[in-house]
Structure 1
Amino acid sequence: MTALKTLIIIALVGYVYGLDKACPFKPADIIFVLDGSGSEGAQNFKRQLHFVSNFTQQFEIGPNNTRVGLVTFGTGVHNEFFLNQYNDNSSVLNHIDNANYPDGETNTHLALNFVRQQTLSSAHGGDRDASKIVIVLTDGESLSPNLTVAAAAALKSDPKVTVISVGIGSKVNPDELLAIASDRNHTFRVSDFDALSTIEADLTTETCNVCNDQSDICFVLDSSGSEGASNFHHQLEFVNMVANEFSYEGNTHTQVCVVTFSTSSHTDIPLARYHTLDALTENVLKVPYRDGETRTDLGIVSAFNQLQQRHHGHFPAARDFANKVMIVLTDGRSTEPDLTKSQAHRAQSKGIDMFAIGIGSNVDPRELDTIASDHDHVFRVTNFKQLDSIHQSVVSAICAKSLKATTTTTTTTTTTTTTLPPTTTKAACGLKPADIVFVLDSSDSEGAENFRTEVEFVRNFAAQFHIGPGNVQFSVVTYSTDVRNEFFFNQYHNRNGVLHAIDNIQYMGLGTNTSGALNFARTESLLPANGARANSTKYVIVITDGRSDDPDATKQEAQLLHTKAEVISIGIGPRVDKTELANIASNHRVVTVDSFTLLKTIKNQLTDLACQSDEPLVF
């Protein structure tokens, strides 16, 4: 069987079992504002609800994930539900399906004012630190255009709010659509209500990338002696978590640089060096720890130079139109506090948005306030492992500044399509339950760095799914000479818990007891007592870079496991035993990659196949 067919087999897991393609790392608050005026009629209003339902299914709904609100309008405004009313997908989707058609005039301004004054109020959950996306659908011109323009301007004055306008049919006013939206890039046109499904993918992209444009971000990392190499690595992981939230396509998108400081400073990644997320994150993890004193001032100087320069060698660097951001991380007091203060003030005076992140108890709170643009740009964590807990807040603060400063000149998107029946909209990855066990080789042939790449692959794969008792569940087993259960299905009930547990998986580094790991997956991981569900499909995904210590026992255990679950084997590098990979897998569901760094290519293809395939997958 070819590698592509095996990738399709893996993709089937995502297609049928709840892949959450939309914004896996970045929760958002999404408010739909639906025109329910008399020009639509009840049937077309239902088509809007059908579109909203399909769109919402892509997201994981919850208090710490994406939240959704729904407002409808005609002559008056009707709130269907606020952002904090529902904490799960089924409740949200059920209410959307049963929303009432309001009928009447087209008082768009009343709906926009309601969103600003009520939906986004703290009383109704609107004060959460997350991007706010208001999606307005209408099929005609508002009854009071001047009031609509004024209401839209007031709503957009909040820097965390992005407004997307969708015009349906030929009677909409393009100028009014533009006045409602945050900018031209956030306006959409479709020919009729049946064609709404054709903009779903583009609208999802805009929703997930509302703050991704036009930022130059420079990370300044403490590499002094008080940190140590392990803690320094946690800073690098934090850089990648933040970087993962942004888009890197085109010249108007995000650029990132990384500077480290100890006794001296080093520009390890210049601002314009990498233009894809994969290239950036791979090289961030290669930035070395250097040890030494805490010359924070020198790190700020190097980052300042990156954010001010116009060229770096043959490549353009800082951009005049871009939002300039400097994020300084430190675990102690600087060696030269006066110089740190003066360099921070110089950067602030040039319009650079300065963030200060203090780690541990040895930081000077007054120095953090000096470095940061204001107190809201100061963050504190008690240790390096807690950096992941603040990454979303940092991203939201960057987005707020970027949205306020950004203007675009992109033309309005117009979509003309063949009319489709309203029931043929492609389902965006359903919610059928699956139980997925990862079995990870942690033997000495891998080495700690390759094992970390393996774990990162598992994390990115899991991050795409709706995770919970009613959707997809994950369990992880690692093995070398011994077998170690990392967590069972019923240990974590949401995506954040699973991802945090995966992040804490440690390398073992001895033999290759593959048979023992397969036995554990069958006799422990897949037990109902440990969370395996009778109504779910069971998958075991085995990742290894070599040959097991006892191939005969591995083959025997694999055959027993096949009676309990579908088994997929992934072999990495030149030392894998392809015969053994075939023995491990169910029906030769085997894929091989040449190196650990290529694991991510499986995830990328998996994501694309899972949410873009319209036809049933046949093997």
Structure 2
Amino acid sequence: MTLTAGTRVGVVQFSHDGTFEAIRLDDASINSMSSFKTAVKKLQWIAGGTFTPSALKFTYDNLIRDSKRARAKVSVVVVTDGRFDPRDDDSQLRYLCDDSTVVVNAIGVGDMFDKKHDSETLVSIACNNKNRITEMKQYTDLVADNFIEKMETVLCPDPVIKCPDLPCKTELDVAPCVGRPVDLVFLLDGSERLGMENFGHARHFVQMVANALTMAKTRNDLNGARLALIEFGKENENQVAFLLTHELNGIASGLSGLSYLDSSSAVGPAIFKTINEILGKGTTRKTRRGAEVSFVFITDGITDTTNLDEAANAMRREQIVSTVISTGSDVDEEVLIKLAMGDQNAIFKGQTFSDVLQPSLFNRFIRWVC
């Protein structure tokens, strides 16, 4: 069955003649952010030459033409850092332009795009629409907050669902996590390094997340989000503010009643406790069928690392998606990376905890966990 709502994402990596690696739009195994991230991480750098025109033809013929959904808008973002091989057929640069349902955006990375020849290449890729061309000097600019926000506007300029075939809901359908179940568990480091002021900020942050997400309607609703929070200190010193729940009143009550441990920190035992008691095992499993389970660590990484590697492996076995929020300059980067399971992009940093509450970082976090 092909879903008629929601967003699907495909990826094509291209290199020399006939060399492509793709994540297909209709890949049935990719049904969550976690599975998509896993597929992207499996992509291997091909190296070699550049056959951009052939890649555009491959993309349409193999990812778009036969797998696009009726009435779906197809947005293509082409990222290229140089000229294409002259042996390739340059007439195929406009291969995507013949389908009126496909909108093409071209991003040129590097200094060569101030030259006429390469600028003309971008114009052709973007179907002569110069408003859909972006030029930048380096690849790190691709992950800049202002560029990501710009691309969101470009790809989704009018985020309103018209509901052509489905009854409209009373709340906005564009709210985060509306299309799939997400069980989000916060692990808050209650060590003395956090401080009472930041403890208050952390509680406020979790409440903001609950308010920003589209929560599940019932305990077993297969859409929307549920949240849980455990505060951890030294080994076997943990406080559960609330178990996995969709009820905002329960979340607010649990946060207001949570006391600051103000002790040392041991994250490994907290991970095992969370997996065993909050998620549950076997017949006592408390997560929903098909739900993406996400751990969010709020910590500076200064913690007892006993059994940390084993705990990280346990998260991998449970297919848990991990995110880290850390503030200040005095942090343990090695621990943060282990908690993020090696994904640097899953670590969100601010100079102070109040920075995490600001829209630019907070909204980026919401997009990431959803």
TM-score band, normalised by the shorter chain?
Answer: 0.5 to 0.7
- Secondary structure (helix, strand or coil) at the match of 2:330 reads coil
Where do residues 329-408 of structure 1 align in structure 2 (5 Å cutoff)?
A: 329-335=298-304, 337-373=305-341, 374-389=343-358, 390-399=361-370
In the alignment, does 2:97 pair up with 1:128? no
Counterpart contact for 2:184–2:293, Cα < 8 Å: yes
- Of residues 113, 120, 123, the one that matches 2:102 is 113
CA distance in 2, matches of 1:276, 1:213: 17
AA paired with 1:377? A
Query: CA shift at 1:130, angstroms?
Result: 8.4
Counterpart contact for 1:219–1:259, Cα < 8 Å: yes
AA paired with 2:254? N
In the alignment, does 2:281 pair up with 1:309? yes
In the alignment, does 2:315 pair up with 1:326? no
Identify the structure with bigger relative contact order (alpha carbons < 8 Å, sequence gap 6+): 1
CA distance in 1, matches of 2:98, 2:279: 41
In the alignment, does 2:303 pair up with 1:292? no
Counterpart contact for 2:296–2:325, Cα < 8 Å: yes
AA paired with 1:214? P
- Of residues 222, 231, 238, the one that matches 2:198 is 231
Corresponding residue number in structure 2 for 1:222? 189
CA distance in 2, matches of 1:345, 1:131: 34
Query: CA shift at 1:212, angstroms?
Result: 6.0
Change (3 A) 1:351 1:136: same
CA distance in 1, matches of 2:201, 2:336: 20
User: What does the per-residue CA deviation read over 1:584-605, in whole Å, with 9 as the maximum and x for residues that have no partner?
Assistant: xxxxxxxxxxxxxxxxxxxxxx
Matched positions, count? 235
- Of residues 235, 239, 243, the one that matches 1:271 is 243
Identity across matched positions, percent: 19
AA paired with 2:321? D
CA distance in 1, matches of 2:101, 2:264: 54
CA distance in 2, matches of 1:328, 1:301: 14
Change (3 A) 1:332 1:127: closer
AA paired with 1:304? I
AA paired with 1:296? V
Which consecutive residues of structure 2, in runs of 5 or more, have no partner in the other structure?
A: 1-95, 107-125, 136-145
- Secondary structure (helix, strand or coil) at the match of 1:206 reads coil
Corresponding residue number in structure 2 for 1:241? 208
Change (3 A) 1:242 1:111: farther
How much is the aligned-residue C-alpha RMSD, in angstroms? 3.8
Where do residues 410-559 of structure 1 align in structure 2 (5 Å cutoff)?
A: none
Corresponding residue number in structure 1 for 2:229? 258
Change (3 A) 1:385 1:210: closer
Which consecutive residues of structure 1, in runs of 5 or more, have no partner in the other structure?
A: 1-106, 138-161, 168-187, 190-198, 400-619
Query: CA shift at 1:357, angstroms?
Result: 1.6
Query: CA shift at 1:249, angstroms?
Result: 1.2
CA distance in 1, matches of 2:199, 2:238: 15
- Secondary structure (helix, strand or coil) at the match of 2:134 reads helix
CA distance in 2, matches of 1:237, 1:302: 24
User: What does the per-residue CA deviation read over 1:516-551, in whole Å, with 9 as the maximum and x for residues that have no partner?
Assistant: xxxxxxxxxxxxxxxxxxxxxxxxxxxxxxxxxxxx
CA distance in 2, matches of 1:133, 1:123: 11
Where do residues 12-31 of structure 1 align in structure 2 (5 Å cutoff)?
A: none
CA distance in 1, matches of 2:184, 2:291: 9
Counterpart contact for 1:216–1:307, Cα < 8 Å: no
Counterpart contact for 1:136–1:164, Cα < 8 Å: no
User: What does the per-residue CA deviation read over 1:317-374, in whole Å, with 9 as the maximum and x for residues that have no partner?
Assistant: 2123100100011134112x25223312320232100111222222111211111031
Query: CA shift at 1:382, angstroms?
Result: 1.6
